[in-house]
Amino acid sequence: MTTLTLDEIERRREFNYRRTPERRVRTIEEARAFVEEVGFCHFWPIKGVELPNLFHAIAGRVRPVPMEHDDPDISKCWGWKDEALDKRWWYYGKFLRRRATLISLKELPYFYALSENYGDLSDYLEEYRAGMLTAEAKRIYEALLEHGPLDTIRLRREAHMSAESAKSRFDRALVELQVGLKVLPIGVAEAGAWRYAFIYEIVQRHFPDLPE
């Protein structure tokens, strides 16, 4: 049996995670290929979590996430992610460790099979009755179920959570639904004070073949 040293393991990680100048991700097509190669990854590096992430793959090295929004690696990360939201190239949403995660479409069915979803849009009711889904998450899900894809601003309104006092509960419930593979962002709308808001949809409607 071959035994790998820690240095060899680290070199393999650097190669596979594209954390080298020669292997860095330079185009959106290469970003798509990277996600397919690794199967799933975080969008940003997460302290204490050893997983590939798109930011370091774009940078071609391990580096801190800068605060400057005009940083070229940051710009590519954000821009490519937004450009790909409606293309069904991958699954994007807050998932692993409740953080932004990219999952290849090849691997997505395995994650979905481990969730509480069984292929019916009304599965959420069983979770709610069992105390496994919060009332806020239920309201958000039902707003999407009734009205179709909604940007964050309108989603808060339709879920009757527009008040400032409800914002933190809304945000937590939205993450809860993403972790449960029930909703995901599928686009960006020019809405809200910053003229930037995710558009959310139900996972089963966005990927209708997934429950199979």
Q: Rounded to an integer, what distance in angstroms lies between the CA atom of residue 160 and that of residue 166?
A: 9
Q: What is the pLDDT of residue 179?
A: 98
36 vs 1, residue with greater confidence = 36
Q: Which of 104, 54, 99 is nearest to 79 (CA)?
A: 54
pLDDT digits (tens, 9 = 90+) for 85-94: 999 999 999 9
Residue-wise pLDDT for 101-115, tens only, equals 999 999 999 999 999
The domains of the chain, with CATH numbers, are: 6-111 (no CATH), 115-206 (1.10.10)
pLDDT over 80 at 212, yes or no? no
Mean pLDDT, range 32-50, rounded to an integer: 97
Tell me the C-alpha distance between 158 and 38, whole Å: 38
Task: Say which residue the tokens 């639904």 belong to.
Answer: 177
Share of residues in the chain with pLDDT > 70 (%): 100
